């Protein structure tokens, strides 16, 4: 099969209301002259690539924007893609519908989320009484075995291709988000409602009481939707405006670097140069304080550059850092000397991948961590200065940072932010010169791109696949009460129920541990709409923002469990007869796994 690369066009613009600094006191420690070059204390630029096929037209988009995926707090126990995942889902659904009417946003619900069900059904009964009669004929059946879950648990969006056309894919990628929070209303004390302490993000000296508030406060699901929608709408705007084609070479350089003891050459203030070193990885005391997106516990706090004797004693039971490591990491007080803790395998990586990708005039820096705003700016500027000094690049080159790429090594701050030792500085593993090390090594890759020279692959990271351990207890077995099947309703939807748009529909099934089968490419939960008299069509699944699947084991040591499925009916949902289905897999005492399915009674949406 002959492959033709798609045309790539691009656009960038400002998104002002999807991120704020969660460590402003650390940012302010950067030089005033440097800060004065920027309008904001976080990066508000979104860069978008639009991929266009000669045959199919637009087939996808990638964008980079810096904001944490922490609209969901640590109290959330559901698996979620957070605001980035929400934005991606909204945009992919938008593209399917964008031909409806003259406006891209026609067909959206009042909640701003694209809808699909209105396109599924055309032959609905036109009176409420007829709908109720239809619904009454579909009462909850007993749960039953499912021989092939792949064919039964049909996802709404199906396969990656449709009518031999590739399905549109939208990626909302991360950038230098290290100190950027989506909780844009600010950080407040949950006991008094007052703003948290500016320097330490504490309330009366306690970090546990300081939480960031998202735009949907106090509903974190609503905050997730809003921040996701803001990124999605900006991406749609850029997608629509994108017209400048990326032209020129496609190239890359990739290498592995040992960051644990890397020599870094820095200019001295009085002239000349000095050589400093990075350190074996270590986590500081402020790491345990957490952030306003997820506070820590006990008596830790951000901005702690001293530590305390009790926790140092606890630390020493695991590993006592030597004086060389203590001096290297200054002013970070070491809580966990992870770079020198080796059992059962390394507690922190030392060998990291770095990568530069070139697509014409766009250059992507793949970094294996979370760079703060100013750290990212310094890295971008340093690489751009190299690129524009030679080769076929000009001042039009655009550099973006792709954060958390290829592996993960915590945070990277500037030297000045590191001195403050807030959460991000305490989580900068390789000491105060970590950013300088990245800048040095990325400049080498940029020079190699310009000269067309290869780079050494570097030391290979250890393969730990055979050494992995898990502290998660295995599923022993699943059970139901006597006379109850897996998939039976424990709390069904009442007969002859009618719901309106915006209502919450809830049903609870007797279920089994979801870890028995993660339902990859299928679904745990499904909302179906009745077409005609007996054909059920998938309308929403657990990939939709309006549908939540909640598994629980009421008794900790019991083999019995339940699944509660909640459907918040979108505003654009058409009237009709609906039902909710649950799919799962149970584990028997002898270890066999058997799939099952269950269904609620049908109900009417008006």
The annotation places the binding site for Zn(2+) at 68, 370, 411
Burial of residue 582 (number of CB atoms within 10 Å: 0-12, 13-18, 19+) = buried
Question: In terms of C-beta distances under 8 Å and separation of at least 24 residues, what long-range contacts does 414-418 make, across chains too?
Answer: 414/30, 414/372, 414/374, 414/375, 414/378, 416/26, 416/29, 416/30, 416/31, 417/23, 417/26, 417/27, 417/29, 417/30, 417/179, 417/372, 417/374, 417/375, 418/331, 418/332
Residues in the chain: 606
**Sign for the pseudo-dihedral over CA of 400, 404, 408, 412:** positive
Three-state secondary-structure class, residue 136? helix
DSSP label at residue 192: T
Other CB atoms within 10 A of residue 390 CB: 11
Six-digit token string for 160: 């990656």
**C-alpha separations of 106 from 95, 103, 160, 362 in Å:** 12, 5, 25, 33
CA atoms within 13 Å, Cβ hemisphere of 474: 7
Instruction: Round to whole Å and give the CA distance between 567 and 420.
Output: 46
Q: How far apart are CA 195 and CA 210, in angstroms?
A: 8
The sign of the torsion formed by the CA atoms of 211, 216, 221, 223 equals negative
Closest residue by Cα to residue 42 from 12, 59, 63, 65: 65
Q: Is 479 helix (H, G, I), strand (E, B) or coil?
A: strand
* Distance separating alpha carbons of residues 357 and 377, to the nearest angstrom: 18
Residue pair 491/506 in contact by the 8 Å Cβ criterion: yes
Q: Strand, helix or coil at 473? A: coil
| Annotated catalytic residue 181 | yes
Query: Which residues have a Cβ under 8 Å from the Cβ of 276 and sit 6 or more positions away?
Result: 263, 264, 266, 433, 436
- Residues forming the annotated binding site? 68, 370, 411
Q: Which residue is catalytic, options 23, 170, 181, 561?
A: 181
Cα–Cα distance, 23 to 414 (Å, whole number): 13
Residues 6+ apart with CB under 8 A from 132: 496, 498, 604
What is the DSSP track for 197-228?
PTTT--BTTBGGGEEEE-TTTT-HHHHHHHHH
CA–CA dist 214, 18 (Å, integer): 10
Gap between the Cα atoms of 488 and 582, Å rounded:
9
Q: Could you tell me whether strands 603-605 and 576-587 are parallel, antiparallel, or unpaired per DSSP bridges?
A: antiparallel
Integer-rounded Cα Rg, in Å, for the chain is: 27
Report, as residue numbers or ranges, the catalytic residues.
Answer: 181
């Amino acid at each position: 099969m002959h492959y033709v690369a798609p045309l790539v066009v691009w656009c960038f613009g400002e998104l002002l209301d999807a991120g704020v600094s969660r460590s402003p006191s650390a940012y302010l420690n950067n030089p005033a002259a440097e800060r004065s070059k920027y309008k904001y204390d976080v990066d508000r630029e979104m860069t978008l690539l639009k991929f266009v096929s000669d045959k199919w037209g637009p087939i996808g988009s990638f964008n980079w924007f810096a904001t944490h995926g922490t609209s969901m707090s640590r109290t959330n126990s559901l698996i979620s893609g957070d605001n980035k995942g929400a934005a991606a889902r909204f945009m992919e659904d938008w593209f399917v519908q964008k031909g409806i009417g003259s406006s891209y946003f026609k067909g959206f619900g009042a909640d701003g989320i694209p809808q699909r069900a209105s396109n599924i059904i055309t032959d609905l009964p036109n009176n409420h009484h007829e709908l109720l009669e239809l619904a009454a004929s579909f009462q909850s059946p007993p749960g039953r075995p499912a021989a092939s879950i792949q064919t039964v648990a049909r996802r709404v969006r199906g396969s990656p291709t449709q009518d031999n056309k590739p399905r549109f894919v939208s990626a909302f990628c991360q950038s230098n988000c290290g100190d950027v929070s989506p909780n844009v209303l600010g950080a407040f004390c949950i006991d008094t409602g007052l703003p948290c302490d500016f320097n330490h993000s504490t309330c009366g000296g306690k970090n546990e009481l300081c939480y960031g508030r998202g735009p949907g406060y106090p509903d974190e699901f609503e905050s997730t939707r809003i921040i996701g929608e803001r990124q999605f709408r900006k991406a749609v705007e850029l997608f629509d405006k994108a017209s400048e084609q990326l032209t020129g070479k496609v190239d890359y350089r990739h290498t592995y670097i040992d960051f644990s003891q890397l020599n870094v050459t820095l200019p001295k203030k009085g002239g000349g140069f000095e050589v400093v070193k990075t350190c074996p990885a270590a986590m500081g005391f402020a790491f345990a304080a957490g952030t306003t997106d997820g506070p820590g516990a006990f008596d830790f706090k951000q901005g702690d550059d001293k530590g305390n004797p009790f926790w140092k004693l606890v630390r020493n039971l695991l590993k006592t850092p030597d004086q060389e490591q203590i001096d290297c990491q200054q002013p970070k007080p070491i809580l966990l000397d992870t770079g020198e803790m080796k059992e059962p395998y390394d507690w922190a990586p030392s060998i990291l991948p770095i990568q530069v990708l070139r697509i014409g005039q766009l250059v992507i820096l793949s970094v294996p961590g979370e760079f703060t705003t100013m750290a990212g700016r310094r890295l971008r500027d340093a690489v751009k200065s190299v690129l524009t000094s030679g080769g076929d690049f000009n001042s039009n080159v655009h550099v973006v940072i792709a954060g958390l790429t290829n592996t993960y090594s915590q945070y990277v701050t500037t030297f000045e932010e590191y001195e403050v030792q807030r959460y991000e500085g305490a989580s900068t593993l390789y000491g105060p010169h970590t950013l300088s090390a990245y800048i040095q090594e990325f400049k080498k890759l940029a020079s190699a791109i310009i000269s067309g020279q290869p780079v050494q692959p570097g030391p290979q990271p250890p393969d730990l696949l055979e050494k992995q351990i898990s502290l998660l207890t295995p599923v022993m077995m699943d059970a139901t009460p006597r006379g109850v099947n897996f998939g039976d309703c424990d709390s069904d939807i009442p007969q002859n129920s009618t719901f309106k748009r915006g209502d919450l529909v809830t049903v609870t099934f007797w279920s089994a541990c979801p870890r028995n089968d993660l339902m990859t490419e299928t679904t745990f939960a499904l909302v179906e709409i009745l077409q005609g008299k007996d054909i059920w069509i998938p309308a929403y699944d657990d990939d939709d923002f309006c549908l939540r699947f909640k598994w629980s084991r009421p008794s900790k040591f019991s083999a019995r469990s339940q699944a509660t499925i909640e459907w918040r009916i979108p505003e654009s949902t058409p009237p009709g007869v609906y039902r909710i289905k649950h799919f799962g897999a149970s584990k028997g005492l002898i270890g066999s796994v058997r799939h099952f399915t269950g269904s609620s009674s049908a109900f009417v949406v008006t």
